[in-house]
C-alpha cells in the first residue's frame, strides 16, 4: 500500500449532514485538517454512518474520525442497534450502593467491571461503523453545582472517578480505542455552562490540584488524550485552561508528566470567546500546549481557520506523532460479527444484569 501524502494537521472539524458535500470534501482534504468530529445530525442509521465514515477515510485515511459518545445524555448514536449506555453517575451509584452495607469491596469490583463493559460496548459498536475515537471519559467531579456536567460525572470522590475511569479506559483499549479525559483540571465546580457563558472557578491552585486534578495524576500513562476546560481559574491564570501555558505546559505536561494529545474544547463555544477571533483562539491554544483544536457547528469559522492559521513545523511534527498514536491499530469487527462475539455478549449481559441498559 502506498503511503498517504497527508499527515494529520491540528484542526478537527465537522461535516454538515448525512453525506459529504463538496465543501466538506474540500475542508477534509486541506492539509491543516487532522480530524473529523461527528454529531447527531450526521447519524440516521448504522448503514448511513458506515458509508459516511468510509467516504471520509477514502479522502483522508490519516484523519481521526471522532465523536462525543459518553453515554447518558451525551451519546450521538442511540438507535438502530446501538446500545444506549448509562450516564456515568449510574456507575458511581453502583459503586456506592450495591451491596455497600455488607460488601463494599464487592460493590467496587462490580462497578469497575461494569465500567469496563461500558467502555468495550461503546468502542466496539463505534468501531464497527468506522468511528476511530470518542471524547470520553469525563473526569470532572460532581459537586452538585454544574448543570452541564451533572450526571456525566462518575462521582464527587476523585478516587472513585479515577477507578471507574481507569476501568472504562480498559474497556476502550480492549476494543482498540484510545481515551480522552475531560475537562482538565475540572469543570465540576464552576456553575456556568461554557457552551453559552464564560465559567469562573475562584478556588486556589492547591485545592484544585488536591481534588479535581487527582484523577489525571493517578491515571498517568493510561490517559491517551486530555481536553482542557473553557473555565477561567483566576488565582492561577487570567486565561481559560485551554489557552493557558501554566495549566497545559507547567502543570499538565511538566508537573503531572502527561505525554499524550491535548485537544482544545470547541473554539466556537462562548467559553472560548475571551481569545477574540477563532484564529487568535486557535493560535493561543496551540501556543499554550494544545496539539489539536476543535471547531464545531460553524463551517464559516472552520474556513477562516483553514485559510489563516499558521502552524510551526517543529511543533506540528511533535503533535502529529502524538495524534497518530490515537488511531486504532487493528481492524474492527463488522457489526454482524460483533453481535456474535463472546466478549461483546458478556459485556452487554453484565450491563443488563445491573439494569444499566
Provide the H-helix boundaries in the chain.
22-29, 46-59, 88-97, 104-128, 158-174, 205-209, 214-219, 245, 278-288, 299-308, 313-324, 335-339, 342-353
Residue 132 among the catalytic residues: no
169, 137 in Cβ contact below 8 A?
Answer: yes
CA dist 183 and 136 (Å) reads 10
Residue tagged active-site, from 195, 220, 337, 346: 195
Dihedral (Cα; 62, 116, 129, 131), 10-degree rounding: -30
Residue 265 among the catalytic residues: yes
- 298's CB contacts (< 8 A; 6+ apart) are 268, 278
Residue tagged active-site, from 14, 62, 68, 265: 265
Instruction: Specify the pairing of strand 74-75 against strand 69-71.
Output: antiparallel
CA dist 261 and 101 (Å) reads 41
3-class SS of residue 204: coil
The catalytic residues are 195, 265
Amino acid at each position: 500500500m502506498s503511503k498517504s501524502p497527508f499527515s494529520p494537521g491540528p484542526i478537527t472539524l465537522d461535516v454538515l449532514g448525512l453525506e459529504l458535500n463538496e465543501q466538506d470534501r474540500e475542508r477534509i482534504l486541506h492539509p491543516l485538517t487532522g480530524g473529523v468530529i461527528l454529531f447527531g445530525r450526521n447519524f440516521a442509521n448504522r448503514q448511513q454512518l458506515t458509508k459516511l465514515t468510509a467516504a471520509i477515510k477514502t479522502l483522508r485515511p490519516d484523519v481521526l474520525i471522532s465523536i462525543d459518545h459518553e453515554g447518558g445524555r451525551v451519546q450521538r448514536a442511540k438507535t438502530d442497534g446501538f446500545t444506549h449506555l448509562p450516564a456515568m453517575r449510574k456507575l458511581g451509584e453502583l459503586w456506592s450502593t450495591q451491596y455497600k452495607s455488607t460488601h463494599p469491596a464487592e460493590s467496587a469490583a462490580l462497578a469497575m467491571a461494569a465500567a469496563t463493559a461500558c467502555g468495550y460496548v461503546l468502542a466496539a459498536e463505534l468501531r464497527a461503523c468506522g468511528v476511530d475515537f470518542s471524547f470520553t471519559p469525563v473526569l470532572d467531579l460532581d459537586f452538585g453545582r454544574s448543570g452541564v456536567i451533572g450526571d456525566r460525572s462518575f462521582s464527587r470522590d476523585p478516587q472513585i472517578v479515577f477507578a471507574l475511569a481507569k476501568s472504562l479506559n480498559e474497556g476502550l483499549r480492549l476494543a482498540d480505542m484510545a481515551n480522552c479525559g475531560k475537562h482538565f483540571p475540572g469543570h465540576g465546580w464552576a456553575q456556568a455552562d461554557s457552551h453559552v457563558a464564560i465559567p469562573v472557578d475562584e478556588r486556589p491552585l492547591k485545592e484544585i490540584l488536591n481534588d479535581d486534578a487527582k484523577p489525571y495524576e493517578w491515571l498517568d500513562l493510561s490517559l491517551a488524550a486530555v481536553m482542557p476546560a473553557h473555565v477561567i481559574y483566576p488565582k492561577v491564570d487570567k486565561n481559560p485552561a485551554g489557552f493557558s501555558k501554566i495549566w497545559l505546559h507547567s502543570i499538565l505536561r511538566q508537573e503531572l508528566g502527561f505525554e499524550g494529545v491535548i485537544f482544545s474544547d470547541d473554539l466556537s463555544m462562548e467559553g472560548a470567546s475571551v481569545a477574540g477571533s477563532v484564529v487568535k483562539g486557535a493560535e493561543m491554544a496551540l501556543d499554550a500546549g494544545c496539539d489539536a483544536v476543535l471547531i464545531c457547528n460553524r463551517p464559516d469559522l472552520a474556513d477562516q481557520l483553514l485559510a489563516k492559521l499558521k502552524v510551526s513545523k517543529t511543533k506540528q511534527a511533535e503533535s502529529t506523532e502524538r495524534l497518530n498514536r490515537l488511531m486504532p491499530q487493528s481492524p474492527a469487527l463488522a457489526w454482524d460479527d460483533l453481535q456474535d462475539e463472546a466478549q461483546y455478549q458478556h459485556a452487554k449481559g453484565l450491563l443488563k444484569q445491573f439494569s444499566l441498559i
